[in-house]
Amino acid sequence: MTDMTTRLAGLSPEKLKLLAREIKKRNAELRNQPDAGGVPASVLAPIRTAGTNPPLFLAHPVGGGVIAYHDLAKYLRAEQPVYALQNLDSSDEDEQKPLRIEDMAARYIEAIKTVCPDGPYLLGGSSMGGTVAFEMGVQLRAQNRPVSLIAMLDTPARVIPHMTGQEGHSPLAVELATLASIIASGYRKQCQLSLADLDVLKPEEQIHSVFHQLQQQQLISANSSSSAFRIALMAFVKNLNALEKYVPRTYDGEVAIVRAQDTSSNMKETAGELSDDPTYGWQAYCTQPVKVRFVPGDHVQMNLEPHVRLTGAELQRFLDEAREN
């Protein structure tokens, strides 16, 4: 395992060991459902639809799935509706067209308007999801729509590109090793992969090799399909590339960060010098003071039991304060 794949394991706080199963399940349920106002049904994932408060919309981390938000929602008030925004299936998109955070945010805005046409909007997300939520807030404010809060869960304003220091290797090999590392992190393990061994293989052989190594190491279920793994890889790579290229614009609304108390070496390498800034670099893009509260655990652990209880409590405090303002 290279230093690069180890440090990038912190990009997603989800239990990505379940990603292939979630993709397979969601695709089976949603692929043939009709669109709602031109928005694919699979984008918007209801977690809790009942409640009297304005709904909270949580954008996905880099893996594209939203499993972890189900645990988080348990520790929010019963009257708080919660919806997740996911992009588990990128097969319907042009593979040659780079995905941008700006385009993703615009698509998700159309999705949340089917639930909440006029706002006020409560936006959030973990890791990359916080970045997507921020851009959604920027675009909604430009449309003169009310945004009460953008809540980020351990989200740096910028991340170091994943090919930094790895220019001699195949990009696909680096991306496969990175995804394998993230999946292994869901088990708090490391996946032993050699970039040099992957480099000598053809692209299809690289994907096949990593998929079977993950199965052999029991990091992916034995009944997972290679097609589901390929979908996970496509979503992950497009999301990661979009995240690395995104430059935040200025935002004049309320921004809050729930940040992990333990900044792991992974996140220090991923976020660089921004790790030393309590706001993770976001204050430079915000006209109002960014609120920050710390919770136990690291980038991954803060979203897992037992720490997710406190993460949910701090998020709820921010939601309560936004409603009172």
Over residues 162-200, the pLDDT tens digits come to 767 677 898 999 889 888 877 776 676 777 788 899 999
- Phi and psi at 318, nearest 5°, equal -65, -40
The stretch 79-95 carries a mean pLDDT of 74
* H/E run at residue 229: helix 226-245
Q: Which residues contact 267 (CB under 8 A, 6 or more apart)?
A: 7, 10, 154, 156, 260, 275, 298, 299
Question: Does residue 215 contact residue 223 with C-beta atoms inside 8 Å?
Answer: no
Kindly indicate the confidence band of residue 56, based on its pLDDT and cuts at 50, 70 and 90.
very high
- Ordered alpha helix ranges (H), 62-187: 67-73, 101-113, 128-142, 171-185
Taking residues 107-131, report their average pLDDT.
Answer: 96
pLDDT for residue 4: 34
DSSP state of 133: H
Predicted confidence at residue 106, as pLDDT, reads 96
* Mean pLDDT across the chain: 84
Q: Residue 95: pLDDT above 60?
A: no
Contact (CB, 8 A) for 196 and 173: no
Mean pLDDT over 250-264 rounds to: 95
Higher pLDDT, 9 or 306: 306
pLDDT at 185: 66
Phi and psi, residue 82, nearest 5°: -135, 130
